[in-house]
């Protein structure tokens, strides 16, 4: 450290003897130090430090009012732990214990009077040099901390930008996946709607030819089945690839019946398309006597429809799809064998993965993945055998229904005693459909278009049950339910919700049951039976 910087240091001298102050000032001034301050009053030291902090303090120990030891203690409490303000003690007390006490109290060096002027100058220079080094280190540390803080901010911004980029990429992928799934939904809805429209046209044409009643009922039942399957499709895709829930609805059913329904439901589409393409496609069935299984008929029918359409697409030049059932090794087995183009091994290994497709823009990659999910949730297995040029066979097996499983199946709803029912729905068609169903079941029904006339009706008469839509102009279904419960606490309430709402979320203390639209007659009867637990008519038959 150069002498010029040391001689610019600020020095504070504290001694109650003016002669000592004069002597020290002359010694230091002769050595080139010009910035000298002094005081004979130790009680003013703290004020002087407040005005400007010195670079070194020369301190006497024996002083009135406040001795050097007390002042050392004050300085120790004042200065931060990481600071370095050197203190040179100058005293006439040469006792070793005095020196040890001073050094342990915060002094950095110690000289006894009388002292050598040269030694004083050297001790001061050494302490000032250490002071300058400490200040330089502190300055560099401060600069380093600023640099670290600046780099940290830069890194945090870089990480924030990276996370934002990643979030955008993830969001884009999700949007792409959603768009792909939406395409699959549109595709499957077109299949279901084609069946509905096709059978409607058949029914209308055959009605002109005075079709017999049983044939008309068969066509209408097929239309209703396809419509209900379409209404459940969104819900199944929303819960895509999920495990089976404990309360999953399952019924005892004959797999052969589901196979026949799937063939009949898909035939108008694939048959018309094959004729339009001038090719011949045929579907054969070989259905053996097999045990029943525990399953959801709608889900299995949807899976089989996907497999049928997939097989038809795999036979662009025509061919035969053969569906057969058998009972082997305590498993109910269904085989779908086509003689189409088949699949290479690489495609066969990946064809069950979501969004994998070989059809380009014409395919969504959802069909086979949905089939696998449905089969897996039913405790089944799915195997694929395929040879390029020779065709593909899908082998599905299910466990047969067990006696204890039959006992656990939820029983069909029973008809309730005749009820007085109020319907509130802003759609006249819904009012008409539900009124027709309930009147046919022997209930007394009144229908209104919104909440206000519903409240007037409740106030003017007794109703066993209110069936209300959730979203209505002026008053929501929940608001109506709350008002009805205030007027007539014993009136039960069934809330009808849109497809986007979950029934459990719509239920509350004022709603006894929530149903998701569209509501089938069976679902409506079951809900009425559940909420009117004290209204089941003894001996009345179960509703099929």
The answer to the question of residue 456 being in a domain is yes
The answer to the question of residue 96 being in a domain is yes
Q: Edge-to-edge strand order for the sheet containing 109-112?
A: 36-39, 11-14, 56-59, 87-91, 109-112
The pLDDT profile of the chain, 544 residues, written as one tens digit per residue, is 456 667 789 999 999 999 999 999 999 999 999 999 999 999 999 999 989 999 999 999 999 999 999 999 999 999 888 889 999 999 999 899 999 999 999 999 999 988 999 999 999 999 999 999 998 998 998 899 999 999 989 898 888 888 767 754 664 464 345 445 545 564 455 556 555 655 655 565 566 555 555 666 666 667 766 666 666 555 545 544 445 555 466 788 899 999 998 998 888 888 888 888 889 999 999 999 999 998 888 889 889 998 999 899 899 999 999 999 999 999 999 999 999 999 988 888 878 776 667 666 555 556 787 788 788 888 899 899 999 999 999 999 999 987 666 655 555 445 568 899 999 988 887 788 788 878 888 899 999 988 889 888 888 778 999 999 888 888 888 999 999 999 889 999 999 876 444 444 444 678 988 887 667 677 788 889 888 875 444 333 333 2
User: Is there a single domain that holds both residue 278 and residue 391?
Assistant: yes
The answer to the question of residue 171 being in a domain is no
The answer to the question of residue 159 being in a domain is no
- What per-residue confidence (pLDDT) applies to 83? 86
Dihedral of the CA atoms 221, 223, 224, 230 (nearest 10)? 150
Instruction: Say if CB 133 and CB 141 are below 8 A apart.
Output: no
User: Is there a single domain that holds both residue 365 and residue 501?
Assistant: no
Quote the percentage of the chain above a pLDDT of 70: 75
- What per-residue confidence (pLDDT) applies to 501? 44
pLDDT tens, residue by residue, 225-255: 666 666 655 554 554 444 555 546 678 889 9
- What per-residue confidence (pLDDT) applies to 242? 47
User: Is there a single domain that holds both residue 254 and residue 399?
Assistant: yes
User: Is there a single domain that holds both residue 393 and residue 428?
Assistant: no
Q: What is the CATH number of the domain that holds 80?
A: 3.40.50.2300
User: Is there a single domain that holds both residue 304 and residue 437?
Assistant: no
- What per-residue confidence (pLDDT) applies to 239? 44
User: Is there a single domain that holds both residue 456 and residue 375?
Assistant: no
User: Is there a single domain that holds both residue 284 and residue 403?
Assistant: yes
The structural domain count of the chain equals 3
Which residue, of 92, 115, 138, is where some domain finishes?
115
- E strands present in 27-131: 36-39, 56-59, 87-91, 109-112
- What per-residue confidence (pLDDT) applies to 354? 65
User: Is there a single domain that holds both residue 388 and residue 309?
Assistant: yes
Q: Percentage helix, strand, coil, to 5, in the chain?
A: 50, 20, 30
- What per-residue confidence (pLDDT) applies to 543? 32
- Structure token pair of residue 7: 């001689």
Which residue, of 66, 83, 115, is where some domain finishes?
115
Q: What is the CATH number of the domain that holds 399?
A: 3.30.565.10
User: Is there a single domain that holds both residue 391 and residue 433?
Assistant: no
Q: Is the peptide bond before 13 cis (omega within 30 degrees of 0)?
A: no
Domain that holds residue 441: 420-531
The answer to the question of residue 434 being in a domain is yes
- Residues in a beta bridge with 253: 293
Which run of H or E residues covers position 171? helix 117-208
Burial class of 100 by CB neighbour count within 10 A (0 to 12, 13 to 18, 19+): exposed
- Structure token pair of residue 199: 């059978």
The answer to the question of residue 139 being in a domain is no
- What per-residue confidence (pLDDT) applies to 120? 94
User: Is there a single domain that holds both residue 522 and residue 435?
Assistant: yes
The answer to the question of residue 442 being in a domain is yes
User: Is there a single domain that holds both residue 445 and residue 387?
Assistant: no
Which residue, of 363, 386, 408, is where some domain finishes?
408
What is the SS3 string spanning 421-473?
Answer: EEEECCCHHHHHHHHHHHHHCCCEEEEECCHHHHHHHHHHCCCCEEEEECCCC
User: Is there a single domain that holds both residue 292 and residue 384?
Assistant: yes
């Amino acid at each position: 450290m150069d002498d010029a910087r040391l001689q610019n240091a600020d020095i504070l001298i504290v001694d109650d003897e003016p002669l000592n102050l004069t002597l020290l000032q002359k010694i230091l001034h002769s050595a080139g130090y010009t910035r000298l301050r002094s005081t004979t009053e130790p009680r003013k030291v703290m004020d002087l430090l407040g005005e400007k902090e010195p670079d070194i303090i020369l301190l006497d120990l024996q002083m009135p009012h406040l001795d050097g030891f007390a002042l050392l203690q004050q300085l120790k409490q004042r200065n931060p732990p990481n600071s370095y303000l050197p203190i040179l003690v100058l005293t006439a007390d040469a006792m070793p214990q005095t020196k040890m006490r001073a050094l342990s109290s915060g002094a950095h060096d110690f000289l006894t009077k009388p002292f050598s002027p040269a030694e004083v100058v050297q001790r001061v220079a050494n302490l000032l040099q250490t002071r300058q080094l400490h200040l330089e280190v502190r300055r560099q540390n401060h600069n380093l901390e600023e640099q670290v803080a600046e780099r940290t901010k830069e890194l945090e911004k870089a990480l924030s930008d990276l996370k934002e980029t990643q979030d955008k990429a993830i969001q884009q992928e999700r949007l792409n996946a959603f768009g792909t799934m939406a395409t699959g939904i549109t595709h499957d809805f077109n299949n279901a709607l084609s069946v509905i429209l096709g059978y409607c046209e058949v029914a209308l044409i055959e009605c002109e030819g005075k079709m017999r009643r049983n044939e008309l009922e068969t066509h209408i039942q097929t239309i209703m089945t396809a419509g209900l399957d379409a209404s459940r499709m969104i819900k199944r895709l929303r819960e895509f690839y999920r495990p089976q829930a404990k309360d999953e609805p399952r019924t005892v059913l004959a797999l052969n019946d589901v196979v026949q329904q799937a063939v009949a439901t898909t035939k108008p589409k694939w048959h018309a398309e094959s004729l339009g393409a001038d090719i011949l496609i045929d579907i054969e069935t070989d259905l053996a006597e097999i045990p029943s299984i525990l399953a959801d008929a709608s889900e299995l029918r949807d899976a089989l429809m996907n497999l049928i359409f997939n097989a038809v697409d795999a036979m662009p030049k025509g061919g035969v799809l053969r569906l057969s059932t058998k009972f082997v090794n305590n498993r109910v087995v269904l085989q779908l064998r086509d003689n189409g183009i088949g699949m290479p091994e690489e495609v066969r290994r990946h064809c069950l993965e979501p969004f994998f497709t070989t059809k380009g823009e014409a395919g969504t990659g959802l069909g086979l993945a949905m089939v696998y999910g449905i089969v897996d949730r039913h405790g089944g297995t799915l195997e694929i055998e395929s040879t390029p040029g020779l065709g593909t066979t899908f082998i599905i097996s299910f466990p047969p229904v067990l006696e204890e499983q039959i006992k656990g199946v939820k029983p069909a709803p029973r008809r309730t005693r005749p009820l007085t029912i109020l319907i509130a729905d802003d759609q006249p068609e819904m009012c008409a459909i539900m009124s027709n169903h309930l009147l046919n079941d022997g209930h007394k029904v009144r229908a209104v278009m919104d909440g206000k006339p519903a409240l007037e009706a409740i106030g003017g008469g007794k109703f066993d049950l209110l069936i209300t839509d959730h979203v209505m102009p002026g008053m929501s279904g929940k608001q109506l339910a709350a008002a009805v419960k205030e007027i007539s606490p014993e009136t039960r309430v069934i809330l009808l919700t849109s497809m986007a709402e979950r029934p459990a979320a719509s239920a509350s203390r004022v709603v006894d049951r929530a149903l998701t639209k569209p509501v089938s007659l069976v679902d409506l009867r079951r809900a009425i039976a559940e909420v009117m637990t004290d209204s089941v008519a003894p001996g009345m038959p179960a509703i099929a």
